[in-house]
Structure 1
């Protein structure tokens, strides 16, 4: 049960009501402060009066209904669901929360962090974290589990602070021992730990956690989540050059995606297969898979732009100039559809990089990559792409007989490689 003081504080701040406005004529300001900070227990009469002023009714008859609706909504946040459906369900529950005293409130408020992240509303997610941080001392183990899990999500998605994410996930994992969570919830944590280890290039750990998640999702016949795990395993095996195992996992992911007619899973897997064949130096196969993603208009715009960026690089590397130019033109057309290009800035940099090279606008190419693109990648700790574009720049300087500059950027690429191997 949520502490009543924490509940009152949450509702008061949400309604932008001052302590003075809420306390007036009911209790003193200092007494309300003690109630909100859990330093005293108020009488039922005072709680009733405060709730009445907040427009909240104390009625336990709706508790089971609210809990069921919350559980359904929480489940929607962990599957591949339509954002409009998630938002519609959120608004329905929010209206119940606004008018009823319920023990489900705090868990609902914590899940809002995850909800805002799904919508890409990072400022709202951070505001919710800061708001809840004030009362986090009252959280029980279940609250703390989700609190740390979603803070890990925030650090990973917003700031690419994967080490900090992992610290939060580790705390959440410790809480599992004290809770009776459903298997698929534990599997979800294992999956995001696997993803985070993958981002950190801790490949063996990523494989271990992906396998744990996969075992659980298989038991529950959750084939979409199984496909996600197979993709992580495929990426991991590709990195350690176990290509047969990588292809096997990607093919399983592809099969499960088609079984569920899940276009996002199918095309994510095609993108990964493209990268695999690119790594193997099999350009024609790589191009085939990247083109599959681009041609599917049902796939999210960001995935298609990512595939175009990969395709441009692949065509450039095999001296397919005209196809590179066509892909660049199409990539810019897709980018123009974003209302805010900032979250997808990397694709803009990639397209401009190759556009300047192909047009032989070398001063623009050098300025972009040196002054903007590489610093952007270094700030994001995207060392894999630092290697690619520092190496591209170094080879460019070699062709220009600028050997001192070439050596400088080969060193940048080598340093980035060391960062990956040392993470």
Structure 2
């Protein structure tokens, strides 16, 4: 603990000048050096200064140690996704904002507060904090640099810059072993980035490492999150039995702790798993269990509706699809939403109105997907239009849409992921 800065804090808090504090104890220049931590202070002088300020060195040391513990508890609560505890500790620590400016905890305090803002998904505020903190990075310790990169990776992930986030994590890979007890989410973040980039082998590799870390720390919620990532990519790589076992474990654990979000995700991912194996009846059973647990009219809600419609179509239950989608499509206020287009396409498929579908894709579907940058759907829809126009003998239009489709495929190959 740098006691000189603490003395400086309390002197200013008492609205005392250096002359007033050092009167009868030491010279002003001597006190100035003590406050700037450029001179060792003898015990007698230190005790006299503290006595005049109404503080004790021991109490200040204990206060700093308690704050260090509180800060680590704060970060741990965030890593555990314990909102209530994190909120409470944030309010407690906010009272010490001025005090920490005079301690060696200053940058850790600012970084942990940034982590909380990211936890709340307040990205505009987070960006402002990042720009402010960036001015001090040359003063950072090795640990603070490690945390800085991790937090910037989280920020870039939330902004959709997955490759940049991964690069930031890789930059401090060698420091992870030194600080694995303080920051336990490093491997989870690497797994998540590879997941977002569609790199299944690496998502599984780092997911298994993250699972080991979170189990050791008894971080139940994050353990479920990692198992979710693993189950998705085990499904992608055809390891269906392992994926199914993990998803059933998630269901059991999530139901035990009454975590509705993970229960819903587990049912949804089981639906995806069975769908990948062309087990449409089993897939539908899971999606129907997932649907009531999702907030209505959200992206996840429409994704599940679309999956249900897809499997009903595979089972040739077109009338059920028409009834389901007519109701959902009527409720849309914005027909330029990606979700609306996807459901509209399924609706036309269910009605077997191929020509109407193709005209809709050309006039509305593809332009909307281009506006939203959805390369996967631009590729898929353009390919369908090209095939139809080729069947109709319009080779010019067929060539035009085939070029659009191939262009998207090339972009996808270069980016390494299709989003």
Query: Which TM-score bucket, shorter chain as reference?
Result: 0.7 to 0.9
The answer to whether the aligner puts 1:376 opposite 2:376 as a matched pair is no
Contact 1:195 1:206 survives alignment (8 Å) = yes
The answer to whether the aligner puts 1:203 opposite 2:200 as a matched pair is yes
Q: What whole-Å deviation, never above 9, does each CA across 1:198-222 have from its counterpart, x for those lacking one?
A: 2222222221111112223333443
Separation of aligned partners in 2, 1:102 and 1:164:
33
Contact 1:73 1:89 survives alignment (8 Å) = yes
Separation of aligned partners in 1, 2:330 and 2:143:
46
SS at match of 1:226: helix
After TM superposition, give the deviation of residue 113 of structure 1 in Å: 2.7
After TM superposition, give the deviation of residue 315 of structure 1 in Å: 4.6
SS at match of 1:181: coil
Separation of aligned partners in 1, 2:167 and 2:403:
35
Residues 294, 332 of structure 1: alpha-carbon distance in 2 compared, 3 angstrom cutoff: farther
Alignment of 1:68-83 (within 5 A): 68-82=69-83
Separation of aligned partners in 2, 1:203 and 1:166:
15
The answer to whether the aligner puts 1:390 opposite 2:379 as a matched pair is yes
Higher deviation after alignment, 208-217 or 277-286: 277-286
Residues 365, 299 of structure 1: alpha-carbon distance in 2 compared, 3 angstrom cutoff: closer
TM-score after normalising by structure 2? 0.72
After TM superposition, give the deviation of residue 278 of structure 1 in Å: 2.7
Q: What whole-Å deviation, never above 9, does each CA across 1:158-212 have from its counterpart, x for those lacking one?
A: 1x221111111112322224x2531x834x2111101111222222222111111
Contact 2:338 2:372 survives alignment (8 Å) = no
Residues 306, 210 of structure 1: alpha-carbon distance in 2 compared, 3 angstrom cutoff: same
Alignment of 1:306-385 (within 5 A): 306-315=303-312, 320=318, 322-323=320-321, 326=324, 329-330=327-328, 348-355=337-344, 358=347, 360=356, 363-377=359-373
The answer to whether the aligner puts 1:148 opposite 2:143 as a matched pair is no
Q: What whole-Å deviation, never above 9, does each CA across 1:90-149 have from its counterpart, x for those lacking one?
A: 122112223554433321211233222222211111111110000001111111111000
Contact 1:214 1:226 survives alignment (8 Å) = yes
SS at match of 1:201: coil
Separation of aligned partners in 1, 2:2 and 2:323:
59
Alignment of 1:23-422 (within 5 A): 43-44=33-34, 60=60, 61-82=62-83, 85-99=85-99, 101-158=102-159, 160-177=160-177, 179-182=178-181, 185-186=183-184, 188-296=185-293, 303-315=300-312, 320=318, 322-323=320-321, 326=324, 329-330=327-328, 348-355=337-344, 358=347, 360=356, 363-377=359-373, 386-396=375-385, 398-399=387-388, 401=392, 403-412=398-407, 414-415=409-410, 418-419=413-414
Residues 281, 375 of structure 1: alpha-carbon distance in 2 compared, 3 angstrom cutoff: farther
Separation of aligned partners in 2, 1:332 and 1:44:
73
Separation of aligned partners in 2, 1:68 and 1:153:
23
Separation of aligned partners in 1, 2:330 and 2:154:
30
Q: What whole-Å deviation, never above 9, does each CA across 1:8-53 have from its counterpart, x for those lacking one?
A: 9xxxxxxxxxxxxxxxxx99xxxxxxxxxxxxx9644589xxxxxx
Residues 123, 2 of structure 1: alpha-carbon distance in 2 compared, 3 angstrom cutoff: farther
Contact 1:274 1:287 survives alignment (8 Å) = yes
Contact 1:198 1:206 survives alignment (8 Å) = yes
Separation of aligned partners in 2, 1:322 and 1:107:
57
After TM superposition, give the deviation of residue 322 of structure 1 in Å: 4.2
**Bigger Rg, structure 1 or 2:** 2
After TM superposition, give the deviation of residue 321 of structure 1 in Å: 5.2
Separation of aligned partners in 2, 1:356 and 1:297:
23
Residues 357, 262 of structure 1: alpha-carbon distance in 2 compared, 3 angstrom cutoff: closer
Contact 1:155 1:161 survives alignment (8 Å) = yes
TM-align CA RMSD: 3.9
Contact 1:234 1:245 survives alignment (8 Å) = yes
Contact 2:264 2:294 survives alignment (8 Å) = no
Give 5+ residue unaligned stretches, structure 2. Answer: 9-16, 19-30, 38-56, 349-355
Contact 1:238 1:246 survives alignment (8 Å) = yes
After TM superposition, give the deviation of residue 316 of structure 1 in Å: 5.6
Separation of aligned partners in 2, 1:421 and 1:180:
31
SS at match of 1:252: helix
Contact 1:2 1:105 survives alignment (8 Å) = no
SS at match of 1:281: coil
